[in-house]
Amino acid sequence: MENFPKFNSSPAGTRRGRNPNRMPPGVPHPVDVHVGSRVRLRRTMLGMSQEKLGEAVGLTFQQIQKYERGANRIGSSRIYQFSRILDVPVSFFFEDMPSEALSAPGVAVRGMSDQKQAPLDDDPMAKRETLELIRAYYRINDPKLRRRVYGLLRSMANLPDED
């Protein structure tokens, strides 16, 4: 009788338990959500539609929506394409990463904190009002007038004068 290698006769998926370092099925990873939100932020700052961005990379606007929600992961070559089209460095998509993304399952956690930290408030840069304000500000063609508006806003917010 020949010796054949033994194969696992267990039904598919029953041999091993689910990896506790992975996100549950159907739940987007916080890093994917953050990267998608940064794509949306930059796209809206430029006044670009999802459809126009999709056309630039050969995708439908629905796929762009999924990327922006974090429902689908964005591959490295696609992030590079987005950086070129949206005129930002690749690192832009990873800046201001919230603490929840850094402590998500599967992400190595380093630091000295013994206790969970309070989450940061919602990012004001992700709010439509902020984006519209930025767009309006940069539509002011006169640099001197734009600087005066900037000074007015700083004084209204009780911020010190810049020297």
In a domain, 51, yes or no: yes
In a domain, 41, yes or no: yes
Q: So what's the pLDDT on residue 116? A: 58
pLDDT in tens, 27-43: 788 889 999 999 999 99
Between CA 68 and CA 46 the distance in angstroms is 15
- Co-location of 91 and 42 in the same domain: yes
The number of folded domains in the chain is: 2
Q: Mean pLDDT over residues 132-156, rounded?
A: 89
pLDDT in tens, 109-133: 445 455 555 554 566 766 778 878 8
In a domain, 54, yes or no: yes
Q: If you average pLDDT over every residue of the chain, what do you get?
A: 79
In a domain, 152, yes or no: yes
- Co-location of 50 and 97 in the same domain: yes
Between CA 136 and CA 64 the distance in angstroms is 25
- Co-location of 35 and 81 in the same domain: yes
- Co-location of 93 and 147 in the same domain: no
Q: For residue 61, what are the domain limits?
A: 27-104
pLDDT in tens, 45-79: 888 999 999 999 999 999 999 999 999 999 999 99
- Co-location of 73 and 140 in the same domain: no
- Co-location of 34 and 79 in the same domain: yes
- Co-location of 59 and 96 in the same domain: yes
The answer to which of 6-10, 42-46, 144-148 has the lowest mean pLDDT is: 6-10
User: Residue 94 sits in a domain of what CATH number?
Assistant: 1.10.260.40
For the whole prediction, is pTM greater than 0.75?
A: no
Q: Is the pLDDT of residue 3 over 70?
A: no
Burial of 24-37, coded b for 16+ CB within 10 Å and e otherwise, reads eeeebbbbbbbbbb
Per the model's pLDDT, the better-predicted residue between 12 and 94 turns out to be 94
- Co-location of 95 and 153 in the same domain: no
Q: Mean pLDDT over residues 144-151, rounded?
A: 91
- Co-location of 79 and 132 in the same domain: no
- Co-location of 97 and 144 in the same domain: no
Per the model's pLDDT, the better-predicted residue between 120 and 100 turns out to be 100
